[in-house]
Amino acid sequence: MDDDPIRPPSVLAAIWHDSQKAGFNFPSDYKLGGLLRVLAASKPGGRLLEVGTGTGLAAAWLLDGMDARAHLVSIEAEGRWAAIAAKHLRGDPRLTLLDADAFSWFGGQPAASYDLVFADAMPGKFDGFEALWRLLKPGGLYIIDDLMPKDDWPPGQAARVQAVLDQLDARSDAQVARLAWSSDIAIAAKTEGR
Ligand SMILES: C[S@@+](CC[C@H](N)C(=O)[O-])C[C@H]1O[C@@H](n2cnc3c(N)ncnc32)[C@H](O)[C@@H]1O
């Protein structure tokens, strides 16, 4: 089976081009993009959150899946990456791009306010998990990727990834699936608890 997603977002090639030119080294995987688009489409009128916009690749996939009433907030702390995302995506009224440090931003947000969270940076993934999990509604989806070991991982990264997976599995208020596919992914749905 050819499992590459078909009909990528029309803006994706231009973002990819600018990302390569700027030397952006952490682009979201193409296959993951197709999955994010499906999950975004499952939340009509939903409030979606991406932590770590980068240059906007995953945001483009999420927006492609979202309906007209849905809204995406995407946070990026590094201006040169955010500028590329803004160049290509700021015309979409369903998107709010925030130039902020996600760690401090989480604390000011109301609990249970998001239907889907793509945690694609340190905050809410390897650190500050509880602060981000708190923002998810019951039934909401939490997605992380880049769990596949890489040669350039810093020392201790494999243990950090394992700890994240273990703590997700240990929760009484989550159902978790691990996908050894694309960049290796985990998806958790928030439940009312057992
Ligand atoms: C893996 S990359 C994101 C890739 C992006 N989602 C994509 O689709 O290509 C992680 C991003 O998180 C950003 N980041 C790291 N720490 C952050 C923080 N504390 N607050 C906001 N953004 C942060 C980095 O600058 C980087 O652009």
Query: Tens digits of per-residue pLDDT, 91-134?
Result: 999 999 999 999 999 999 999 999 999 999 999 999 999 999 99
**CB of 118 closer than 6 angstroms to any ligand 1 atom:** no
DSSP 173: S
What is the number of residues in the chain? 194
At residue 144 the predicted structure's pLDDT band, cuts being 50, 70 and 90, is very high
Q: Which CATH number fits domain 27-190: 3.30.450.40, 3.10.129.10, 3.40.50.150, 3.20.20.120?
A: 3.40.50.150
**CB of 122 closer than 6 angstroms to any ligand 1 atom:** yes
Distance 42 CA to ligand 1 centre (A): 24
Distance 53 CA to ligand 1 centre (A): 5
The rounded distance, in Å, linking the Cα atoms of 117 and 136 is 7
* Position 194 pLDDT exceeds 80: no
DSSP 29: P
* Position 21 pLDDT exceeds 80: yes
Interval 74-96: pLDDT, tens:
999 999 999 999 999 999 999 99
Q: Show the tokens assigned to 150.
A: 């890489």
Q: What is the pLDDT of residue 188?
A: 98
At residue 64 the predicted structure's pLDDT band, cuts being 50, 70 and 90, is very high
**CB of 145 closer than 6 angstroms to any ligand 1 atom:** no
Distance 51 CA to ligand 1 centre (A): 6
Residue with tokens 């231009």: 14
**Contact 59/72 with Cβ under 8 angstroms?**
yes
CA atoms within 13 A on the CB side of 154: 1
Biggest distance spanned by C-alpha atoms of the chain: 49
- Encoded amino acid at 59, one letter: A
Query: What percent of the chain is modeled with pLDDT above 70?
Result: 100
CA 80 to chain centre: 19
Domain assignments of the chain as residue spans, ordered by start = 27-190
* Position 63 pLDDT exceeds 90: yes
The rounded distance, in Å, linking the Cα atoms of 88 and 140 is 28
**Contact 91/68 with Cβ under 8 angstroms?**
no
Helix axes 57-65, 30-41, angle to 10 degrees: 30
Q: What is the pLDDT of residue 52?
A: 98
The rounded distance, in Å, linking the Cα atoms of 68 and 44 is 8
Pocket test for ligand 1, best of 78, 84, 148, 184 (most atoms within 8 A of CB): 78
**Contact 124/77 with Cβ under 8 angstroms?**
no
What value does the CA radius of gyration of the chain take, rounded to a whole number of Å?
16
Distance 52 CA to ligand 1 centre (A): 3
CA 12 to chain centre: 16
pTM of this prediction exceeds 0.85: yes
At residue 193 the predicted structure's pLDDT band, cuts being 50, 70 and 90, is confident
